[in-house]
Amino acid sequence: MTTTARPAPGQPRGTTHRVLLGAGAATVASVLALSVVGALVVGAPAGGGAVVGGGLTLVLLFGGALLVASATAVSPQTSLLVAMTTFLTVVVLAAAGFYALEASGFVGQVVQARWVAGGVAVAGVAWSLAHLVGHARSRILAFDLPSGPRGPAGTTGTQPHDPSQQAVPTGVGPAGGGSEVRVP
């Protein structure tokens, strides 16, 4: 997520959406691997539980991140408000979804509750790791460096050198080392 409305020059467009798709694909792969393990070790209710928990978590995380990314692209000034509101909405929807699954008797009769929780945990970890790695690899610029040649004392060279400035030595110690300060 960036705080600018337009990508910096040279930065590919749609980077955030590519990161979200990559994180979603990694999460799907992780949840499917867990469900296969669950189905082979315990049976179909375990595999189904992993898919239910991981699937619900993936839908909520992906939907929330997509909403925040889309809103940030339209209005960067409101990105924090949208992110906080989306987080609250995702938490409420997750609680309502798991309550509905439990109240309907689906969890416990059709799928195993432990594997639903395992699916939630695996999806959350896989999403977080893939999202972090994707953003780190996308090389989104966080700031712009000043352009132009470097002059003395780290100046950018945009101002002409004034020969009337004098170098005054400071910090001269017993070793004879010191630094210069330009005084107008």
**Model confidence at 83, in pLDDT bands (50, 70, 90)?**
very high
Structure tokens at 39: 């189905």
Q: What is the pLDDT of residue 15?
A: 75
* Structural domain boundaries in the chain: 15-138
> What are the two backbone dihedrals, phi and then psi, of residue 158, each rounded to the nearest 5 degrees?
-85, -20
Q: What is the pLDDT of residue 163?
A: 55
pLDDT of 67 strictly over 80: yes
For the chain, the average pLDDT equals: 80
pTM over 0.75: no
pLDDT digits (tens, 9 = 90+) for 10-33: 545 567 888 899 999 999 999 999
**At CA 31, angle to CA 29 and CA 36, rounded to 5?**
95
In order of 76, 108, 148, 158, the CA distances from 154 in angstroms are: 32, 67, 11, 11
CA end-to-end span of the chain: 44
pLDDT digits (tens, 9 = 90+) for 159-168: 555 555 555 5
